[in-house]
Chain A
Amino acid sequence: MDSYNAPESTPSASSRPEDYFIGATPLQKRLESVRKQSSFIPTPPRRKIPQCSQLQEDVDPQKVAFLLHKQWTLYSLTPLYKFSYSNLKEYSRHLNAFIVAEKQKGLAVEVGEDFNIKVIFSTLLGMKGTQRDPEAFLVQILSKSQLPSENREDKVLWTGWFCCIFGDSLLETVSEDFTCLPLFLANGAESNTAIIGTWFQKTFDCYFSPLAINAFNLSWMAAMWTACKMDHYVATTEFLWSVPCSPQSLDISFAIHPEDAKALWDSVHKTPGEVTQEEVDLFMDCLYSHFHRHFKIHLSATRLVRVSTSVASAHTDGKIKILCHKYLIGVLAYLTELAIFQIE
C-alpha cells in the first residue's frame, strides 16, 4: 500500500515519548468525568501483575520443570461432565485402547508403527490459583521400549495437561457434576491431539476449540511480563509484527534488551501491583513511536503476532512457551481468563 511510503503531512503521532504523558492525561481526565455520570460504559480492565502466589511454594520446581521450555498449543475446553479424579487408571486404560484402535484404522500405510504405547493420567499438584480451582491433571503418551534392558526410559511421545487457574467466574456458573478445567495445553503430534480430543469429547461431553490470542491480548501479555521482576534475564524481549500487504505479507521483528524494556515499563507504570489499560497502551505507543522515528513505519497499523520475553513467549496462533517457573501461575492465570472468555 503506497500510503505507508508517502511522507507524513499531517502531524500524527509525535515522536517524543514524553508527549504521550502530556497528551494522554487530559483526555483521560475528561473521559473520567464523563464516565462518572453514565456508568454503563464498562471501565477498562485493571489486572494484577502476576506475583508469586503462596500456592506456588507447594509446587516443586523439579516436578514442573518439564512444563517449561516446551512449546504448547492452546485450546479452550468446556466443562467436563462426570469426570472423577479417582478413576484416572480406568481412563488411562480406555484411552489406551481407543488410541490403538484409532491407529489401527489406518494400518494399511504404517505397518511398522510402534503400537507399544502407554497412556498415563496423573494429577499435577499445586497448579491452581485458589483452593476452589480443580486439580490440574496431565495425560502422557509414552512409547514402551522394545528392549528388555533395565535402565530404559519410556520416551514421551505426547503430553497434554488440563488446568484452571483463578477460574472463579466459570466455577460459579456450573453445577456439581461438571469439572471446570478450561485451559488445555498440548505438546506433540497433531494427530495424537486430535485422537485424544475426540476421546475426551465422546467420554465427557465437552468441546475443544483452539485458543487464538489477538494482538490486543498479546500487548497485555508483553506489558505484564515485562513488568515481572527478574533476577537475571535469559532472553531478549522481542516482538514480531505482520504487515498486511500483497502479495506476500511482510514480517517486522523488533528486539530490545530486556533491561531497557523494564526501564521503559517502570517509567510508564504508576500504581504498584496493578496494570491498567492506559499503561499498556502507553508502553506500546512508546515502542511504536521509537520505531517510527527511526524507520518511518507505523507499527500501529500492523498486526502484532508474537511476543517473546524472559518470562514466556506467545504467538497469535495460540502457541506458548513458558521460560520462568516463578511466574508460571501468573501466565496460566491470564491464559485461563482468555479461555474462559472464549467459552462464554
Chain B
Amino acid sequence: MSVLRPLDKLPGLNTATILLVGTEDALLQQLADSMLKEDCASELKVHLAKSLPLPSSVNRPRIDLIVFVVNLHSKYSLQNTEESLRHVDASFFLGKVCFLATGAGRESHCSIHRHTVVKLAHTYQSPLLYCDLEAGLQWCNHGSLQTRAPGLK
C-alpha cells in the first residue's frame, strides 16, 4: 500500500501539481477545467483521483497540493475521504492539504452536518473551504469559481 509522501520526488521546473480527490467525477472535472483556465504564474497540472492510494505504476510528477472534495449531500464522499486520508503521509499536512466542502448552500439536501467536516479539517490541521460546485458549473464558462468564506478557526 503506497503512501503519498511530499518530498519523495524532485520538483518539476516551474510547475505545480494539484491532486483533486473526490467521488463525483463530473464535479472534479469541471473544477479542474476552471482552475486551468485561471492565470497561473507557473505551469499548473491538475490530477484527478477517485480515492487513494494512487496506482504506483503510473509515472507522475511530485504532488504539491492535495484537495479533498467532500460533497455534503453524500455520506459516501465523506467516507471515501476518510479512507483516502489514511494513505497520506503525515508531513503532507504541513500546509499541503486542503479540504473543499461543496453543497452547503442547499441545506435541504445535506446528509452530513457541517460540524463533521469542520471537525475533520480541525483534526488534520488543514484549511477548510466551502464552495458550491453545482452552481459553479455555470460559472466555469467565465473562468471563475464561486467560493464562500473559508471555514477556518
- A-side residues, CB < 8 A to B, are 1, 3, 10-13, 30-31, 34, 38, 40-42, 44, 212-216, 219, 244, 277, 284, 288, 298, 300-304, 316
Contact = CB atoms under 8 A, between A and B. Distances in A.
Contacts of B7: none
Given A12-B51, A41-B122, A298-B76, A1 B115 contact: no
Given A41-B119, A301-B74, 16 more contacts: A12-B83, A30-B123, A31-B119, A40-B153, A44-B115, A212-B107, A214-B110, A215-B73, A215-B110, A215-B111, A244-B73, A288-B75, A300-B75, A300-B76, A301-B76, A302-B74
Q: Which of B23, B111, B123 has the most CB of A within 10 A?
A: B111
A304 B115 contact: no
Contact of B25 (A1, A42, A215): A1
Q: Which of B53, B75, B77 has the most CB of A within 10 A?
A: B75
Given A3-B25, A31-B119, A41-B118, A12 B79 contact: yes
B112 interface: yes
B115 to A, nearest CB: 5
B111 A304 contact: yes
Interface in B98-129: 107-113, 115, 118-119, 122-123
Interface bracket on B = 20 to 34
B112 A216 contact: yes
26 contacts: A10-B50, A10-B51, A10-B53, A12-B51, A12-B79, A30-B123, A31-B119, A31-B123, A38-B122, A40-B153, A41-B118, A41-B119, A42-B115, A44-B113, A44-B115, A212-B108, A214-B108, A214-B110, A216-B113, A277-B113, A300-B74, A300-B76, A300-B111, A303-B73, A303-B74, A303-B109
Contact of B23 (A34, A213, A301): A301
B26 interface: yes
B110 A216 contact: yes
Given A12-B80, A40-B153, A300-B75, A1 B111 contact: no
Contacts of A300: 74-76, 79, 111
Contacts of B80: 12
A316 B122 contact: no
A125 to B, nearest CB: 34
Contact of B79 (A13, A38, A41, A303): A13
Contacts of B26: 1
Q: Which of A31, A213, A216, A284 has the most CB of B within 10 A?
A: A216
The 4 closest A-B pairs by CB, nearest first: A301-B76, A300-B75, A300-B76, A215-B111
A303 B76 CA distance: 11
B88 to A, nearest CB: 14
A3 B108 contact: no
A301 B83 CA distance: 15
A300 B73 CA distance: 9
Contacts of A11: 83
Contacts of B74: 300-303
A281 to B, nearest CB: 8
Nearest to B52: A10
A41 B120 CA distance: 10
A24 to B, nearest CB: 11
B75 A214 contact: no
Contacts of A215: 73, 109-111
A10 B83 contact: yes
B111 A216 contact: yes
